[in-house]
Amino acid sequence: MHAARQALEYAARALGFSALGVARADANQGTQLQDWLAAGEHAGMRWMERHLPARLCPELVLPGVQRVVMLTYEYARRDARRVRGRVARYAQGEDYHKLLAGKLADLDETLSFYGGQQRCFSDSGPVSERFFAQEAGLGWRGRNGLLIRPQRGSYCFLACILTTLELPCDTPQPARCGNCRRCEEACPTHALHDGQCDARRCLSYWSIEARGEAMPPEQAAAAGDRLYGCDICQEVCPWNRPRPEPTIDLHLLMPAMLRDLTTEQMEQLDAETFNDLFAGSPLRRIGAEHLRRNAARVAAAGNETD
Ligand code: B12
Ligand code: SF4
Ligand code: SF4
C-alpha cells in the first residue's frame, strides 16, 4: 500500500493540493458532535441531524472503508474587495465544491488503479472533515474550531477521500494554541466556546446558511460590513500572520465583477441578473433575495457610521 500512497501524493501535488494525510476511518470521534446537536448549536441546519449516523460511522457512507485521506487546498489570504461589504476569503473565487470535485475524481481514479473503492467530498458529504484532518496529522483544531497548520495557518479548504485501501496512516499533532484566546475574545458575537462554534450566534451562519430568517439584532449590530461569511476568528490568529503568500489557484482569485460590485448595486439585482453574475461563484448558493438582504444590512450599517 506504500506504492498506492506514493502515487496518490504525487497526483495530489500535481493537482495543486498543499498537503495530504491519512487517518483510520474507525478513529473514535467522541461525543462532541452529539452534544453540539443536542444543545441546538446547529441552529437551522437540520440536515446535520439527519447525517449524524453517517458522520459517526463512515462505514455507512462507504461499506468496507478503511481510511480517510484528508487534503488541504489553499485559498487567497488577501481581502480583494475594492468597495464596502466584505466577502469571506474562502468565497472570493469560483465555487470550490466544483473545482475540487474534478480534482478528487482524478485522485479516485489513481486509487482505483490499486483496487480501491472510494467516495470523495469537500464540504459536500457526511464526514467530520476537521476531525479527520487532525487525526491525519495535518494540523490541530484551534480554539476557533478550525484546522490550523503550523506552517500555513487555517486559510485552506479541506477535502476527503474515503477508501477501502489500507493506506499507511499518519500521526496526529499536538494542539499549539497554548494560552492564546484571541479568537474567542475577538468573536463579536461570543460564538466560540470550548473549541466549538455555536452557529446560533455565528455571523457566518447568519450571512450564509440561515434560510428565510433575518439576522437577529445582536448579530446585525456586530456584523458591520460583513456581507458574506466572517473571517474574524482567523484574522486574529497568530498562526495566520502575514507570511509569503502561497501560490493560489487562479480560479480562486476574485473576479473584477465581485471586486467592484457595490452593496447599492446588489440591492437592485433581480434573480436573473444575479444568476448571470454569480454563476460559478459560491455566493450563488444564498440566492438573490438573501444577498439583497445582506447588502441592505451592510448599507444601513455604513449609513449609521457615516
Ligand atoms: C456546519 C459547518 C459550518 C457551520 C457550523 C460551524 C461549526 N460549529 O462547526 C457554520 C455555517 C457556522 C460554519 C462556519 C464556518 N466554516 Co464551516 N463547515 C461546516 C461543516 C459543513 C460541518 C462542521 C461540523 O460538523 N460541525 C459540527 C461540530 C460539532 O463538528 P466538529 O467541530 O467537526 O466536531 C467533530 C469532531 O471534531 C469531534 N471533536 C471535536 N473536538 C473533539 C475533541 C476530541 C478529543 C475528540 C475525540 C473529538 C472531537 O466531534 C465531532 C465528531 O464528529 C464543515 C465541513 C465538514 N463536512 O466537516 C465546514 C468547515 C468546517 N467550514 C469551514 C470554514 C472555512 C468555515 C468558515 C471559516 C467560513 C467563513 N469564513 O465564514 C466559518 C468558521 C466558523 C467557525 N469558527 O467554526 C472549513 C474549515 C477549514 C479549516 N481550515 O478548518 C470546513 C472544513 C469546510 C471545508 N471543507 O473546507 N461552518
Ligand atoms: S466566524 Fe465570526 S462570528 Fe463566527 S465564530 Fe468566527 S469570529 Fe465569531
Ligand atoms: S487565535 Fe489563538 S486560540 Fe484561537 S485558534 Fe489561533 S492560536 Fe488558537
User: Helix-strand-coil percent breakdown of the chain, rounded to 5?
Assistant: 45, 15, 45
Domain termination residue (choose one: 108, 133, 163): 163
* Stretch 198-226: mean pLDDT: 94
Q: Is 306 exposed, middle or buried (0-12, 13-18, 19+ CB in 10 A)?
A: exposed
Q: Which three cell numbers stand for residue 162?
A: 474515503
Q: What is the mean pLDDT of the chain?
A: 95
Single-letter code of the amino acid located at 37: L
Clarify whether residues 134 and 6 are in a common domain: yes
pLDDT value at position 243?
78
pLDDT over 70 (residue 304): no
pLDDT value at position 116?
98
* Stretch 70-88: mean pLDDT: 95
Clarify whether residues 269 and 136 are in a common domain: no
Tens digits of per-residue pLDDT, 1-26? Answer: 789 999 999 999 999 999 999 999 99
* Stretch 207-226: mean pLDDT: 92
Q: Is 96 exposed, middle or buried (0-12, 13-18, 19+ CB in 10 A)?
A: buried
Clarify whether residues 139 and 194 are in a common domain: no
pLDDT over 70 (residue 162): yes
Mutate-to-test residue for ligand 3 from 140, 143, 184, highest number of ligand atoms within 8 A of CB: 143
Domain extent at residue 41: 2-78+94-163
CA 32, 34, 40, 44 dihedral sign is positive
Q: Active site includes 123?
A: yes
How far apart (Å, rounded) are the C-alpha atoms in residues 24 and 82? 44
Helix (H, G, I), strand (E, B) or coil at 193: strand
Clarify whether residues 22 and 68 are in a common domain: yes
Clarify whether residues 226 and 285 are in a common domain: yes
* Stretch 59-77: mean pLDDT: 97
Model confidence band, residue 229 (pLDDT cutoffs 50, 70, 90): very high
| 67-74 sheet: strands from edge to edge | 19-24, 67-74, 156-163, 118-121
Task: Report the share of the chain in percent with pLDDT over 90.
Answer: 93
87 part of a folded domain: no
Q: Which three cell numbers stand for residue 161?
A: 477521500
**Cell 499518519 identifies what position?**
170
Task: Decide: 147 in ligand 1 pocket, CB within 6 A.
Answer: yes
pLDDT value at position 138?
98
Task: Decide: 30 in ligand 1 pocket, CB within 6 A.
Answer: yes
170 part of a folded domain: no
For ligand 3, atom 1, name the residue with the nearest CA: 237
169 part of a folded domain: no
Q: Which ligand is nearest to the CA of 186?
A: 2
Q: Which ligand is nearest to the CA of 53?
A: 1
pLDDT over 70 (residue 305): no
* Domains identified in the chain, total number: 2
Contacts of 293 by beta carbon, 8 Å cutoff, 6+ apart: 214
23 part of a folded domain: yes
Q: Are 23 and 68 in contact (CB under 8 A)?
A: yes
Clarify whether residues 157 and 233 are in a common domain: no
Clarify whether residues 156 and 15 are in a common domain: yes
156 part of a folded domain: yes
pLDDT over 50 (residue 218): yes
Model confidence band, residue 77 (pLDDT cutoffs 50, 70, 90): very high
How many A from CA of 66 to the centre of ligand 1? 23
Model confidence band, residue 244 (pLDDT cutoffs 50, 70, 90): confident
Clarify whether residues 225 and 129 are in a common domain: no
Single-letter code of the amino acid located at 206: W
Clarify whether residues 69 and 189 are in a common domain: no
172 part of a folded domain: no
pLDDT over 90 (residue 212): no
pLDDT over 80 (residue 152): yes
Task: Decide: 53 in ligand 1 pocket, CB within 6 A.
Answer: no
Model confidence band, residue 168 (pLDDT cutoffs 50, 70, 90): very high
Element (H, E) at 271: helix 271-278
pLDDT over 80 (residue 274): yes
Mutate-to-test residue for ligand 3 from 152, 183, 190, 235, highest number of ligand atoms within 8 A of CB: 183
Model confidence band, residue 170 (pLDDT cutoffs 50, 70, 90): very high
How many A from CA of 25 to the centre of ligand 1? 18
203 part of a folded domain: yes
How far apart (Å, rounded) are the C-alpha atoms in residues 269 and 109? 42
Q: pTM to 2 decimals?
A: 0.96
282 part of a folded domain: yes
For ligand 3, atom 7, name the residue with the nearest CA: 177
Clarify whether residues 290 and 201 are in a common domain: yes
pLDDT value at position 248?
94
Clarify whether residues 128 and 227 are in a common domain: no
Active-site residue, selected from the candidate residues 35, 79, 108, 123: 123
Clarify whether residues 40 and 146 are in a common domain: yes
pLDDT over 90 (residue 245): no
pLDDT value at position 306?
47
Domain termination residue (choose one: 135, 163, 191): 163
Domain termination residue (choose one: 134, 163, 192): 163
